[in-house]
A and B are shown apart, each in its own frame.
Chain A
Amino acid sequence: MKRLTIEQLLGVDKFVVDDEQPHIKVNKEICSACKPKPCTFACPASLFSIKDEELSFDYAGCLECGTCRVVCPNAGVAIDWNYPRGGFGVHYRYG
């Protein structure tokens, strides 16, 4: 099978993106001081990346696993984590 990019993988999933309220918020100030930034490797949807030397995060495409919340060296401070509002977010058709 051909290798798929994360964009291709997320492309097969069904999402209802909440345009009004992001369910996860990142504190860029704390994150800028974080050297290892394990979220950029561990997030299964690869939603954390470094752009212009700053942590960039996109909540659309979130698989709602909670890995970022646990893997974060500043757990509980840097990432304000919640599930999306009812009816929003990923919608698994297989699971």
Chain B
Amino acid sequence: MAEEKFTAIVVGAGPAGSTAAYVLAKGGHDVVLVERGTAPGSKNMYGGRMYSHALSRIMPGFWEEAPVERPIAQESITFLNGGQSVSINCRNMSWAADPYHSFTLLRAEFDAWLASKAEEAGALLACGIRVDELLMDGGKVIGIRAGEDEMLADVVVAADGVNSLLAQKAGWAKMFAPNQVATGVKQIIELPAETISQRFQLEGNNGAALLFVGDCSNGMQGGGFLYTNKSSISLGLVINVGELQRCQVKLCDIMEDFKSNPHIAPLIEGGEVAEYSAHLVPEAGLAMTPQLYGDGMLVAGDAAGFVLNLGYTVRGMDFAIASGEAAARTVIEAKARNDFSRRGLSRYVDLLNQSFVLRDLEAYRKAPEFLENERMFKAYPKLVTELASKLFTVDGAPPVHLMKMVLDRIKQSSISLIQLARDGWKGARNL
């Protein structure tokens, strides 16, 4: 195989890699997409929802043929505190109509479809191959080695996921610190489609995305999620690994506790667990971005740390797709000049800025730090739920006006007014 030379070897058939391979193949370039799973998607897992905008740009109307589950018409955030909870609910019917704001989808199926689009466009898909090493010539990446096989290319696109062994092997990425990543665990819980629609008050095949903060993470930095698929629910937790380092409860038990939480249990009642999965989530944004381009290689998707969690929106797939597209366009421009050096590939950063990937990560640069504030996961959920419970309680006690009620609650909480003001100010500016 060593004689053949591709324009690009894309490592990893996730959304970043398959998009890169698709755009390159569409442009008429020789590209091989290498995937370690026996089928694209068989190693991939996420929470449950993709925002459509990035893929819509590349494949307008993709939902007509892509295996999507439900378009999301309802968003909610729930604060959990023992037997009390407070939810903020938002419905927007236009989200569930063309141009469909976001979809739940299952990665095994969806990623296989996206890889097949790259294949249809002319990319060579090679599954069941784990890339072991980068082939180097001086400081330049010239290909990959997988077992006994070697492949050469003008450019390697490392879209090999959050653990990006390739970026680390190239010396482009440091091993991340525990507090820079989170562990996500998820169970797929099967339920009849009509039960899901009724339970979540959804019209037809519309879907819901629910986020949870408070009890569910045992007070640790993290939260819970629930996404409705057609006939299953994706239920899971994401917890910062720095916190897990100090945790004395097994993560799989915390997940089972979450399922039996009184606010969650009725939502999944009668369901059957069909799959249990886990994955790391890059959470530190630009603070953990590796070197993105260099002689003969580009890094895209999770491998580049392109995930943005603001607490109310969690984005990864749209960043992966847009960065895969930017990587492909960079290679195409470099090919036209026959310059695959670090300088020749430096356009990648411009394209990432133009798309939205680096622009958005830059705009929310301070969000990860803000969300490390432990009050977000303990004191605030407690305050909000207690306050709301008080507001709705009628028990013959003497009347208390709103202002006093609020101030009393804050006084009883562990939060000072100054902290509250400071957190509010920071949150409003950084999220």
- Interface 1/0s, chain A 51-95, versus B by CB < 8 A? 000000000000111110111010110000011111101111111
- State how many residues of chain B have any CB contact under 8 Å with chain A: 62
Contacting residue for A46 out of B44, B241, B250, B260, CB 8 A: B250
**Is A35 at the interface (CB under 8 A from chain B)?**
no
Interface stretch, picked from B20-28, B205-213, B267-275, B349-357, is: B267-275
- Interface 1/0s, chain A 24-56, versus B by CB < 8 A? 000000000000101011111110000000000
Contact B41 A66 (CB under 8 A): no
B42 — nearest CB in chain A belongs to which residue? Answer: A91
Contact A92 B107 (CB under 8 A): yes
**Is B215 at the interface (CB under 8 A from chain A)?**
no
B243 — nearest CB in chain A belongs to which residue? Answer: A42
Residues from chain A with a CB closer than 8 A to the CB of B331 are none
Interface stretch, picked from B80-88, B117-125, B276-284, B291-299, is: B276-284
Residues from chain B with a CB closer than 8 A to the CB of A82 are 165
Residues from chain A with a CB closer than 8 A to the CB of B325 are none
Contact A86 B248 (CB under 8 A): no
User: How close is B192's CB to chain A, nearest CB, in angstroms?
Assistant: 15
A76 in contact with B130 given A63-B278, A92-B43, A95-B111 (CB within 8 Å): no
Contacting residue for A92 out of B45, B189, B260, CB 8 A: B45
Query: Can you give 8 A-B contacts (C-beta < 8 A)?
Result: A4-B256, A9-B187, A12-B276, A83-B163, A86-B127, A92-B277, A93-B42, A94-B109
Residues on A facing B (Cβ under 8 Å): 1, 3-4, 6, 9-10, 12-13, 16, 36, 38, 40-46, 63-67, 69-71, 73, 75-76, 82-87, 89-95
Residues on B facing A (Cβ under 8 Å): 36-39, 41-46, 106-109, 111, 127-130, 146-147, 162-163, 165, 175-176, 178, 181, 183-185, 187-189, 232, 241, 244-252, 255-256, 259-260, 265, 268-271, 273-280
Instruction: Knowing that A16-B38, A36-B245, A41-B247 touch, tell me 6 more A-B residue pairs with CB under 8 angstroms.
Output: A1-B268, A1-B269, A13-B277, A75-B175, A84-B130, A92-B44
